[in-house]
Amino acid sequence: MRLLFVKLKHIGDSLLLTPALTAVRGSYPGAEIWVVVRKGCEGIMTGCPAIDKLLTGAAPETTKRSPMNWWREFQMIFNLRRRRFDYAFELSDGGRGRWISCLSKAKIRCTNGTARPLNWWWRRQFNFVSQFDGRDCHRAEKDFFTVNDCLPIGKQVPPLAFDRTRTEIWASTPASGDYAVMHPGTRWVRKQWPEAKWLDVGQQLLARVRHLVISVGPDPAETGLAAALAASLGPRAISTDGKLSWAQLASVLYGAKLFVGVDTAAMHLAAACQCPTVAIFGPSRVSAWRPFRVPHRVLTPPGAEAATDDSSRARLETARVGVDEVVAACLELLAVPRSCG
C-alpha cells in the first residue's frame, strides 16, 4: 500500500503531522509512506522514522519563492503520479496542497471538509472528505482523526516524533547534564516577550541549574537577543547563535531538565523530545497549539480565558505575561524528575 501525505505549512505545523504518521506505520507496517512539506520544514521531519520519502514544495514565505517553484512542483507531481498511490491525504487545507494531492491521481484522495470548507469544484476532486471538526482541538489531533476517518489507524493519538537515534550531538552541550533550555526568539512580533523579562527568568533559572542553553533561530534579531542575554547572564549561559540543526537541538532537548519559550517550532520539538515545557502564549489558540503529550505549563496574558474568537485573541499581548508566573511554572516542572533521562 502506497500513501501520500501533503502538509504545506510552517515548520512547527509539519511536526504536528508526525503522530498520524507514527500511527499509520504501526497499523500498516508494510506501507510505503511519502510526505510533502514546505521547503525549510524537512529538517524537523527527518526525526520521524515512519517516513520513507520526504519531498519539499515551495517555501511558505512568498519572499523565498521564485518562478521556478511551479516548474519544480510540476516535476514533483509527475513523479508522484508515477508512484500510483493508493491514498493521498491533504492536511494543509490550502489550494496548493489540494492541487498536489489531486494531481497525484491517488486512488483515494482525502481532505478535511470543516477546517476550510470546500467549494463544489474541490468536492468533485476529492473522493473522501472527512467531516471531523478539528477547529477546537489540537492540530495534531485534527490531522490524526482526518486520516483515521478514511484509513483506520486507532483511537489513541501518539506523541510527536523525533527519534532519539536520529539526533546529532552538539559539541557545546553542557557535560554536566544539569541545564535548562530557554528559547526567547520568534520572528512573529505578536509572540515576542520582552528581553528584560527573559533576563529575569534566566537569572532565576541559573539559581537552580548549573547551565542555561539559550536557543534561537538564525535570524539576526534572534541571535542578537541571545548574545545580549548570554552576556548579561554570564559564563554559565550558552547561546546556540542560531547555528544548530533541528537534529542537534533535539539532542540538547533530550538531555535538558526543562524547556521554556514562546509558541514556536522549538516548543513543539521539545514536546517531541519529551522535555518538560513551559510555554508563553499570546494571541495563539492554546487548545490548538499547546505542547502536545508532554508535561507542560502554559502561561497566557490577562483576558485570555475570555477571548473565544480570533479577533479577541488577536488583541492579547504576550508581553503582559508575568515573570513570577513563568518562574513558578518552571520550578514546578523542575521539581519533577524527567522519566526519559
- For the chain, the straight-line distance linking the first and the last C-alpha, in angstroms and rounded, comes to 37
Element (H, E) at 182: strand 179-183
- How would residue 59 be classed by pLDDT, with cut points 50, 70 and 90? low
For the chain, what is the radius of gyration of the CA atoms? 20
Contact call for residues 119 and 127 (beta carbons, < 8 A): no
Residues 87, 91, 96: CA angle, nearest 5 degrees: 95
- Which of 17-21, 157-161, 316-320 comes out lowest in average pLDDT? 316-320
Does the pLDDT of residue 315 top 90, yes or no? no
pLDDT at 117: 78
When pLDDT is averaged across residues 180-188 and rounded to a whole number, the result is: 93
Per cent of the chain over pLDDT 90 is: 78
Give how far Cα 327 sits from Cα of 199, 201, 229, Å.
12, 6, 17
Place of cell 500498516: 28
Question: Whole-angstrom Cα distance, residue 54 to residue 44?
Answer: 11
Show me where the domains of the chain are located: 2-150, 164-334
Between residues 66 and 261, which one has the greater pLDDT?
261
- How would residue 199 be classed by pLDDT, with cut points 50, 70 and 90? very high
Topology agreement, domain 2-150 and domain 164-334: yes
Domain 164-334 matching CATH 3.40.50.2000: the answer reads yes
Does the pLDDT of residue 127 top 60, yes or no? yes
Contact call for residues 108 and 100 (beta carbons, < 8 A): no
Residues 16, 22, 28: CA angle, nearest 5 degrees: 140
Please give the class, per CATH, of domain 2-150.
Answer: alpha beta
